[in-house]
Structure 1
């Protein structure tokens, strides 16, 4: 056998081994994700029909919406959705829009005959009532929900290897000191960072901004190829702390058809004013502000 053939066969053998390892790795990732999604998957039956007129088609790359609920659950307490973020994903524009809804926002609670703080919808009727109430507030269909246990959110941050955010001013919270500027956060630090509001002159609005920073950082870090090597930790953290009506097939389709949307993430704040009614604090949003937000989000969804 010639020297050239020997070199060629040696290279070919190495390539076969590498490809075999990669195939086995991809197979393990695929199966682990499938197992994790089966644990996370929790469909919802809604009393109020969704506002989507035509059926959503992921294969056609239709824009879709997600309600992200960060829930603090306590012993003998169903909990409240202290974090409520609506994400709309449009692969045709390669963009995601993210709207934080203040937890004290006064709205009609769909399924009840009264107005109350929007985060109380979860306490009254869980995910279905939260979804229906947000759909009514923004006048859009909510296609999917993701419920995150906020106590366990730190596990997700640690699983992706921590996150980097740009802090606007120095402050102390949860036993940690956060300097102004670019900072790197562990899971515990990220939770303390996102929960602080009393030292922030913007109050809950400032807290919402920090929550959006953490969410965006996790999305970007989790979507990177670098995170594939940590898939076991990431999938375990998700399985322990997340519930969603997303199926495994839908998640696979997102990766293949919608991953480009991560390129641009736009943040929007719900403007309103604090007001006391019967000695209870509410965040009151005007009809004009609701119309402004609805216009932005409807255009992005194409509804």
Structure 2
């Protein structure tokens, strides 16, 4: 011991290697404290044992062969610093995407060419709101009060169409816009966002989504994949139209997978409104919890988890992967893009067009469903085949503000391992869509609204349930 202490006092290399050794120990302890929830117990124990052996050998080398120890400790330190960066990035990412508190954003808007700002007085302005939306007047009053604003008049209109026309015709200067209002305007004028600007807004929390947890490495489960068409500027926790609705059912024991597209225009019961309308509106009005409840009610199934991505996230994800090879069932043109039947290389923008195109496809919505499932397969395939550090970091960057899920953080590694293990099944499984027809029908939620809704053919919903149950029950 005396020789060692003398060595530390008199040797510069000894001092440096000791400091580096202590730094390695601290960095290692920090990394393990952050990642233990993500790794299976056995892998974590093996990693701890390997790290302990490395630290012990470096401690021995630091005294016996200091120059070699210095070189090795520098290498290990660099690796651990990179590891700390990666660990911090992963933990920040998982914390953010599992914050599943959805909000409804209520806004007071004006025409862009009206040059109205939130700093000016509203004393001479008239505020329009729709009587079809019970909460619009109450929320607008709160927003005005919290911002110390008063308007000259608050003018009710029978529905959003009349209120929006009044705004466009300059009969009023301000309009209350809730999620119901956004869904109305998407039918009245799909380009409405080009004409309006948000002056004031407030987020109202919705009911938190509760997961039905299982051990996904051992028990079958169903996850709801939603592609949300959010308004520009909305964050991922804002409610939005569920434009893409896919159920992915996995049985890790039998290695069976089923993927099922649910039409966005399916006429479903919407619990938060105690009435029926389009499935896509269920998410807009009540958040993803409402979408899940509508699907569970329609199919008589249980959904364990959800994953929600917006369209910006889809584009960024595909670009982060360097593009993907996606199979198209058809040859067609969509916008400026051309797709051949067979495999096509797509970047983010082209992938979005691939997922959204429908009018030029032979079966319209059903054909789009087939294409969407092929895109999901392509993304899974690319990431599972090339799980590099750079890909992982790029994927995290692409999803951080565009993705959310209620899958527990400790199951993320299991989920990735499942994708790798089930990749052959994912690539060869059949795509299923629902046959049916569109019919003109009144909207039970909004007065005097008629739209086209999708009604499944006899036995179609039962067939969907049976396919899901087949996988769940391990047949």
Give me the TM-score of the superposition, normalised by structure 2: 0.55
Post-superposition offset of 1:223: 2.1
Q: Does 1:57 align with 2:215?
A: yes
SS at match of 2:401: helix
Instruction: For 1:33 and 1:127, locate their aligned partners in 2 and report how far apart those are by CA, in whole Å.
Output: 24
Secondary structure of 1:212's counterpart equals: helix
The answer as to 2:114 corresponding to 1:114 is no
Contact 2:97–2:400, Cα closer than 8 Å, also in 1: yes
Displacement of 1:255: 3.4
Alignment partner, residue 285 of structure 1: 456
- Which residues of structure 1 form unaligned runs of 5+? 1-11
Residues 216, 25 of structure 1: CA spacing in aligned structure 2 closer, same or farther, 3 A cutoff?
A: farther
Give the Cα–Cα distance (whole angstroms) in 2 for the partners of residues 26 and 138 of structure 1: 45
Mark the CA change 1:76 to 1:240 in structure 2 (over 3 Å): closer, same or farther. Answer: closer
Q: Secondary structure at the match of 2:349?
A: helix
More displaced, 169-178 or 152-161? 169-178
Q: Name the count of aligned residue pairs.
A: 287
Match of 1:33 in 2: 90
Cα distance, 1:169 vs structure 2: 2.9
Cα distance in 2 for partners of 1:46, 1:295 equals 30
Distance 2:343 2:419 in 1: 29
Indicate conservation of the 8 Å contact 1:96/1:262, yes or no.
no
Q: Is the 8 A contact 1:146 1:245 kept in 2?
A: yes
Q: Are 2:80 and 1:80 aligned?
A: no
Distance 1:139 1:27, change over 3 A: farther
The reply on whether 1:153 has 2:311 as its aligned counterpart is no
Q: Is 2:426 the counterpart of 1:269?
A: no
Report if the CA contact (8 A) 2:209-2:288 is conserved.
no
- 1:8 aligned partner: none
8 A Cα contact 1:159 1:237, kept in partner = yes
CA displacement 1:159-184 (0-9 Å, x = unmatched)? 11111112233322232222333210
| SS of structure 1 residue aligned to 2:265 | coil
8 A Cα contact 1:65 1:88, kept in partner:
yes
Q: For the structure 1 residues 286 and 205, does the alpha-carbon distance in structure 2 shift closer, same or farther, using more than 3 Å as the test? A: closer
> For the Cα contact (< 8 Å) 1:94–1:263, is it kept in 2?
no
The aligned counterpart of 2:407 is: 246
1:72 touches 1:79 (CA, 8 Å); kept in 2?
yes
Name the structure 1 match of 2:151: none
Once residues 468 and 271 of structure 2 are traced to their aligned partners in structure 1, the CA distance between those partners, rounded to angstroms, is 20
Q: Deviations over 1:17-63 (max 9, x none)?
A: 9x94777666654443222111111336868987x6xx62346x111
Map of 2:291 onto structure 1:
130
The Cα shift of 1:244 comes to 1.0
What is the alpha-carbon distance in structure 2 between the residues aligned to residue 25 and residue 125 of structure 1? 42
C-alpha offsets along residues 112-144 of structure 1, whole Å, 9 cap, x if unaligned?
A: 322211111011101111111111122221111
Residues 90 and 261 in structure 1, CA contact (< 8 A), matched pair in contact too? no
Paired residues of 2:229 and 2:242 also in contact (CA < 8 A): yes
Aligned partners of 1:100, 1:127: CA distance in 2, in Å? 16
Alpha carbons of structure 1 residues 263 and 100: separation in structure 2 relative to 1, 3 Å: same
Q: Distance in 1 between matches of 2:95 and 2:438?
A: 42
SS of the counterpart of 1:115? strand
Distance in 1 separating the partners of 2:418 and 2:377: 19
Match of 1:129, SS?
helix
Q: CA deviation at 1:154?
A: 0.5
SS in 2 for 1:270: coil
